[in-house]
Amino acid sequence: MAERRPNELFELVESYSRFGHHRTGSPSQERTSAWLAAQLRDRGATTVREPIELPRYVADWSVTLDGEAVESLPLFYEATGSVSTDRPHRWPVFAPAGSGPLGVSGAVSAAGSEGANPGDLVVAATSNPLGLLAVSNRVPGPGSGVHVLQVAGEHGGALAAGAPVRASIDARVEPSVCHNVVARFGDPDGAARLVVVTTPISGWFTCAGERGTGVAAAVELATRLAEETPVLFLGATGHELGGLGAVAFRGRFSRRVDTLIHVGANIGCDWQASPTLAAPDHSYLSARFAGPERLRDPVAAALAPTGHGVDMPARVRSAWFGEAAEWLDVPCVLSLLGQNPWFHTPDDRPDVSCNAARTAAVTDALTEAALALVRR
């Protein structure tokens, strides 16, 4: 099969982004999974959307600062119920780290604001180098009972200065269903060596660089690998909620998988091409490999055009990122992910955080690395 042109590949990124917010279980994300399944069928795969039950956080909310509505997002699962107030707690600096549940009672800002009790509402300006609304992944489960409405970091000064604030939220948790997208190229169920290509498909916002570039690369990678071997493709939902889609899938297949290619976050992001941010690490990419030492050099040579080497960390969860950490019992694991200053923010858009040339270059390099593994 001829390689797709960079702009043709990037059309997948743009299409993915146009669906809107990709939060797990949301209507827009369900439309995205149907679209992805159609893309895979167009490339010769058979597909199924496998349902996964989850407790879905559902809310209506608003924040008005100094008389103007500002974009915000609740800290999912932290509290349920209704609150409306013009005297919320103020946290001018808020930096939730990692996956939750995250007890906010101890997350008092660097500005020294007072704490909050269950049933209270907090308006918190999130930490981000560009002053954006930047949120953290969560694990569904009971939180502290304190409602937290996160706003862009650029509003921290106004919060600290006492600007008028009005905030409200009505939140609940209800049973729901989300879907993994599973595709089969050829007959992976009968293959002597099962090859899996996986990428997350959900996230907080439009996620062009974070998720879209990985979706495009994973679809292209699976299509090219299928010319030589059967491939099982997993578009894993629930990434921002503890990777619940990958966990559900892994329980069924992990003992049979021989080679796992994980296409992680931000693989098509090239800060060099951005007029917004100058940084010495502008196209940082991380490649992690677990497998026979003799395969490290071929993998590294294939990935050399990306400008980065290959690490072989121990097979422990703390040394791996994202869904790759779910597959460390597989004989060969290759995981690729990058950085993006617009990561987990509303500004992660195709015209801002990523581009066609970088997406295509990394996809080509990753394909060569994956071929080195399946041909061994």
Report pLDDT digits (tens) over 157-216: 999 999 999 999 999 999 999 999 999 999 998 998 999 999 999 999 999 999 999 999
CATH code: domain of residue 240: 3.40.630.10
Pair (194, 150) in one structural domain:
no
In a domain, 180, yes or no: no
Q: 191 with 340, same domain?
A: yes
Residues 6+ apart with CB under 8 A from 348: 205, 206, 207, 208, 209, 210, 340, 342
pLDDT given for residue 181 in this prediction: 98
In this structure, the answer to whether residues 190 and 305 fall within a common structural domain is yes
Residue 238 to residue 218: CA distance in whole angstroms: 17
DSSP 90-113: EEEEE---SSS---GGG---TT--
Flag whether 352 is in a domain. yes
* Total count of domains within the chain: 2
Distance (Å, whole) CA 116 – CA 104: 8
Please say which residue of 171, 206, 241 terminates a domain: 171
Residue 135 gets which letter from DSSP?
-
Secondary structure E strands in 186-324? 194-200, 231-236, 257-263, 285-290
Q: Which of 171, 201, 229 is the last residue of a domain?
A: 171
Where are the extended beta strands (E) located within the chain? 46-65, 68-69, 72-74, 81-85, 89-94, 121-126, 147-151, 165-185, 194-200, 231-236, 257-263, 285-290, 332-338
Note down the domain range covering 15.
6-45+186-374
Asked if 217 and 128 sit in the same domain, the reply is: no
- DSSP 8-state class, residue 371: H
Question: Does 92 lie in the same domain as 23?
Answer: no
Domain boundary among the residues 139, 171, 203 is at 171
115: in domain: yes
Indicate which CATH number applies to the domain containing 136: 3.50.30
Verify that 96 and 159 share a domain, yes or no.
yes
Are 302 and 356 within one domain? yes
* Nearest partner of 370 among 269, 228, 181, 253, judged by Cα: 228
197 and 123, same structural domain? no
Q: Span 333-361, mean pLDDT? A: 92
Is the omega angle on the peptide bond into residue 118 within 30 degrees of 0, that is, cis? no
Identify whether 178 is part of a domain.
no
Q: Read off the pLDDT band of 53 (50, 70, 90).
A: very high
**pLDDT beyond 90 at 372:** yes
Q: Is position 1 within any domain?
A: no
| Closest to 346 in 3D by CA, of 166, 139, 203 | 203
In a domain? residue 179: no
What whole-number distance in Å separates Cα of residue 315 and Cα of residue 289?
10
Out of 47-56, 156-165, 349-358, pick the least confident: 349-358
Q: Which of 209-223, 233-247, 263-277, 315-329 has the lowest mean pLDDT?
A: 263-277
Residues 262 and 207 grouped into a single domain: yes
Bridge partner list, 183: 47, 233
Element containing residue 29 per DSSP (H, E): helix 27-42
Quick one: 246 and 131 in the same domain?
Answer: no
**DSSP 3-state of 18:** helix
Q: Which pTM value belongs to this model?
A: 0.93
Please state whether beta strands 231-236 and 285-290 pair in parallel, antiparallel, or not at all (unpaired). Answer: unpaired
- Report the chain's mean pLDDT, rounded to a whole number: 90
Decide if 297 is inside a domain.
Answer: yes
Do 324 and 235 reside in the same domain of the chain?
Answer: yes
Say if residue 29 is in the same domain as residue 108: no
53 within domain boundaries: no
